[in-house]
Amino acid sequence: MSLDAKIPGGQLADKWTTYKNNVKLVNPSNKRKLEIIVVGTGLAGASAAATLGELGYKVKVFCFQDSPRRAHSIAAQGGINAAKNYKNDGDSVYRLFYDTIKGGDFRAREANVHRLAEVSVNIIDQCVAQGVPFAREYGGLLDNRSFGGAQVSRTFYARGQTGQQLLIGAYQALERQVGLGNVQQFSRHEMLDIVNIDGKARGIIARDLVTGKLERHFGHAVLLCTGGYGNVFYLSTNAMGSNVTAAWKAYKRGAYFGNPCYTQIHPTCIPVSGDYQSKLTLMSESLRNDGRVWVPKSKEDAQAIREGRKKPTDIAEEDRDYYLERKYPSYGNLAPRDISSRAAKEACDDGRGVGESGLAVYLDFADAIKRLGKHVIEERYGNLFEMYAHITAEDPYTVPMRIYPAVHYTMGGLWVDYDLMTTVPGLYALGEANFSDHGANRLGASALMQGLADGYFVIPYTIGAYLSGEIFTKAIPTDHPAFEEAEKHVQDTLNTLLSIQGNKSVDQYHKELGKIMWDYCGMARTAEGLLKARDMVRKLRAEFWQNVRVTGKADELNQDLEKAMRVADFLELGELMIVDAYERNESCGGHFRVEYQEEGEAKRNDDQYAYVAAWEFRGIDNDPVMHKEELKYETVKLATRSYK
């Protein structure tokens, strides 16, 4: 199958407007007859389900948590970008577009990113209308701050809880539609397969996590808004339940997976403290507005700190290496995430890391507190400082924070065209679950923007292009053989997992997989390491299916079984990420291949690799097949990405 991104013609800035003016519409009486399934209730899913319900479609929305409001978008701290130019500092739709393309190391699709920048301004308007309490200035107007990878202040925020407030806004809009009867909500339900009929997505199999019962649900279209797959690394900033299962089942049912190796390692997380650790906690990138990142200049000082003989405050100003300010003077501490993370790794690899493990650098607020006063810092970051103190038992107002990079976001995801449709007709992917807008590295405060753009302002238009052709399709009864087959397939998998009764727990496999992925497919990758890792993952997966122990039964609330299903999919995904990383013989954004660098910076190869790698599933024991979508840059000139 050839990959057609269906990018509209015309000038870049006119494409979306032209598209909206020409896309087919569905009239209100027909909307009532069309059923849409939305899986996932983060920013993308909740905003899509609410908006499609408002439009009059019959919507069913699913989440594995006990309420749609728990989805992990809620944990986003820093903010959401929008090209409002309220600060009069030179921002524009074009600049937000360009920063995002450049931030993504020229590996994103121009037309999608421009649309994202265009609708960013509508998102802020919509959220304010819903009652999202963004930070304001004394004049009553909205406040902004700056974020990594940008030289303008375009980030809107609600204290350090922006994701929470945006999600609650979308959740309330969704609940309003539930109350009005336009949306049916299925909480504590996990999607475990996609049902295709005659080449189109027509429904899902979901497991009621309380009773364990499998359910069949029909939809004229299915939207996957199920987030990213960072938990393949075991330790990440994702929620414990975040998983790849929905996207992975879609891949195995014919949807191509785009750029699976593009992973974002976030530079400012609380370092690992012990092998019992279950997750890593992010400290918002916004902290880099006022915090300065440093390590000691000398290895001796660093060692003295690690051994507890010296405190960070004992290190004189001239003996500190503010390495981001030194290496990237024009962006300084606001260098993009991939670059900051790599720089932290370099400093630690050089023996100048701090903390007990030596895998940490300092984020120091002493200067900012001296300049602005403690109360200002408290107002800006109070809740983050509190969280840090809870976890580490250290006071960041007096002792610099210790931070280290951690897996945070996955730019890769299901391949989608301009309409956000996957390669399976009627199956869409929105938000982090798709691959589309961030290229090889996502800029801070852009994930919230993309999730809401897709849900509020893109899918309500683009779904019409497909559903206008479905108005004569009657709801397909769920006793159709395709539903039977899919349900049986899920039931068999559940039964198999429960019947193995081996010697190792699901978590043990997950941890082992995570370590392989982090060591060989994490911040630095080599061809040799990736080859080795692929073999290791395959062996681990084979062992899992022989020796995993899952307790309990299928027809009850069984968290062990839920986890086993997710880890089984991670064990397959891990291999695809490795294959993709191996095939991409260049460094770009979050994908750093040690063999391809120039003076320590990522070295892209635009002649050969300016494409999206979209992988097709060919059976678990066969190699996946890569399809290329060439990235055509009509407006932007490809350039070496410099933040110096």
CB of 179 to other proteins, least distance (A): 4
Would you give the binding string for other proteins spanning residues 574-613, x where CB under 8 A is met? ----------------------------------------
Can you tell me which of 106, 134, 248, 294 binds other proteins, judged by CB under 8 A?
A: 134
Binding segment (CB under 8 A) for other proteins, from list 68-76, 433-441, 463-471, 595-603: 68-76
Can you tell me which of 2, 88, 278, 499 binds other proteins, judged by CB under 8 A?
A: 278
Q: Nearer Cβ to other proteins, position 171 or 435? A: 171
Binding segment (CB under 8 A) for other proteins, from list 63-71, 91-99, 425-433, 565-573: 63-71
Q: Using the rule CB under 8 A, is 507 a contact of other proteins? A: yes
d(CA 644, CA 641): 9
Bridge-partner residues for 81, per DSSP? 155
Q: Nearer Cβ to other proteins, position 211 or 608? A: 211
Can you tell me which of 18, 67, 546, 585 binds other proteins, judged by CB under 8 A?
A: 67
Can you tell me which of 14, 18, 131, 620 binds other proteins, judged by CB under 8 A?
A: 131
Using CB under 8 A, count the residues that bind other proteins: 83
Q: Where are the alpha helices (DSSP H) in 56-161?
A: 93-103, 110-130
d(CA 440, CA 588): 6
CB of 86 to other proteins, least distance (A): 7
Q: Nearer Cβ to other proteins, position 196 or 236? A: 236
Exactly one of 207, 288, 337, 593 is catalytic; name it. Answer: 337
d(CA 195, CA 55): 25
Q: Nearer Cβ to other proteins, position 137 or 349? A: 137
CB of 368 to other proteins, least distance (A): 21
CB of 162 to other proteins, least distance (A): 11
Q: Nearer Cβ to other proteins, position 9 or 181? A: 181
The sign one gets for the Cα dihedral 95, 339, 134, 152 is negative
Q: Find out whether 57 and 139 touch, Cβ atoms under 8 Å.
A: no
Phi then psi for residue 262, to 5 deg, are -75, 105
Q: Within a 10 A sphere around the Cβ of 142, how many other Cβ atoms? A: 17
Q: HSE of 175 in the Cβ direction (CA atoms, 13 Å)? A: 11
Q: For residues 5-34, which are near other proteins according to CB under 8 A?
A: none
Can you tell me which of 24, 136, 371, 628 binds other proteins, judged by CB under 8 A?
A: 136
The answer to whether residue 337 is catalytic is yes
Tokens matching residue 40: 């996932």
d(CA 633, CA 439): 13
Phi then psi for residue 35, to 5 deg, are -105, 135
Can you tell me which of 19, 39, 46, 51 binds other proteins, judged by CB under 8 A?
A: 51
Q: Using the rule CB under 8 A, is 47 a contact of other proteins? A: yes
**533: Cβ contacts below 8 Å, ≥ 6 apart:** 516, 517, 519, 520, 521, 578
Q: For residues 145-184, which are near other proteins according to CB under 8 A?
A: 158-159, 161, 163-165, 168, 171-173, 175-176, 178-179
**394: Cβ contacts below 8 Å, ≥ 6 apart:** 388, 401, 402
Binding segment (CB under 8 A) for other proteins, from list 274-282, 301-309, 485-493, 580-588: 274-282
Q: Within a 10 A sphere around the Cβ of 497, how many other Cβ atoms? A: 22
d(CA 584, CA 259): 9
Q: For residues 195-234, which are near other proteins according to CB under 8 A?
A: 210
Q: Using the rule CB under 8 A, is 622 a contact of other proteins? A: no
Could you identify the residue written with the tokens 């609708």? 119
Q: Nearer Cβ to other proteins, position 86 or 633? A: 86
Sheet holding 257-258, edge to edge: 413-414, 257-258, 611-616, 625-630
Bridge-partner residues for 36, per DSSP? 59, 221
Binding segment (CB under 8 A) for other proteins, from list 16-24, 557-565, 568-576, 615-623: 557-565
Q: Using the rule CB under 8 A, is 376 a contact of other proteins? A: no
Bridge-partner residues for 215, per DSSP? 206
CB of 69 to other proteins, least distance (A): 6
CB of 644 to other proteins, least distance (A): 34
Q: Using the rule CB under 8 A, is 137 a contact of other proteins? A: yes
- Provide the residue type at 347 as one letter: A
Q: Nearer Cβ to other proteins, position 54 or 325? A: 54
Helix (H, G, I), strand (E, B) or coil at 501: coil
Can you tell me which of 22, 29, 138, 644 binds other proteins, judged by CB under 8 A?
A: 138
Q: Using the rule CB under 8 A, is 282 a contact of other proteins? A: yes
Q: Using the rule CB under 8 A, is 128 a contact of other proteins? A: yes
Q: For residues 313-372, which are near other proteins according to CB under 8 A?
A: none
Binding segment (CB under 8 A) for other proteins, from list 139-147, 424-432, 435-443, 585-593: 139-147
Can you tell me which of 456, 544, 596, 617 binds other proteins, judged by CB under 8 A?
A: 456
Q: Find out whether 411 and 433 touch, Cβ atoms under 8 Å.
A: no
Binding segment (CB under 8 A) for other proteins, from list 110-118, 124-132, 440-448, 608-616: 124-132
CB-count exposure of residue 119 (10 Å: 0-12, 13-18, 19+): buried
Length of the chain measured in residues: 644
Q: Nearer Cβ to other proteins, position 358 or 460? A: 460
CB of 177 to other proteins, least distance (A): 9
d(CA 388, CA 143): 25
Tokens matching residue 598: 């120039």
d(CA 91, CA 151): 9
Q: Nearer Cβ to other proteins, position 126 or 410? A: 126
Q: Nearer Cβ to other proteins, position 275 or 599? A: 275
Phi then psi for residue 529, to 5 deg, are -65, -40
Q: Using the rule CB under 8 A, is 308 a contact of other proteins? A: no
Binding segment (CB under 8 A) for other proteins, from list 46-54, 360-368, 403-411, 612-620: 46-54
- The CA-based angle 355-361-363, given to 5 degrees, is 115
**398: Cβ contacts below 8 Å, ≥ 6 apart:** none
Q: For residues 536-555, which are near other proteins according to CB under 8 A?
A: 549, 551-552
Cα 366 to the center of its chain, rounded Å:
32
Would you give the binding string for other proteins spanning residues 473-502, x where CB under 8 A is met? ----------------------------x-
Q: Where are the alpha helices (DSSP H) in 135-285?
A: 162-180, 245-252
CB of 405 to other proteins, least distance (A): 17
d(CA 629, CA 298): 47
d(CA 199, CA 201): 7
Phi then psi for residue 367, to 5 deg, are -65, -45
CB of 119 to other proteins, least distance (A): 11
Q: Using the rule CB under 8 A, is 535 a contact of other proteins? A: no
The residues assigned a catalytic role are: 337
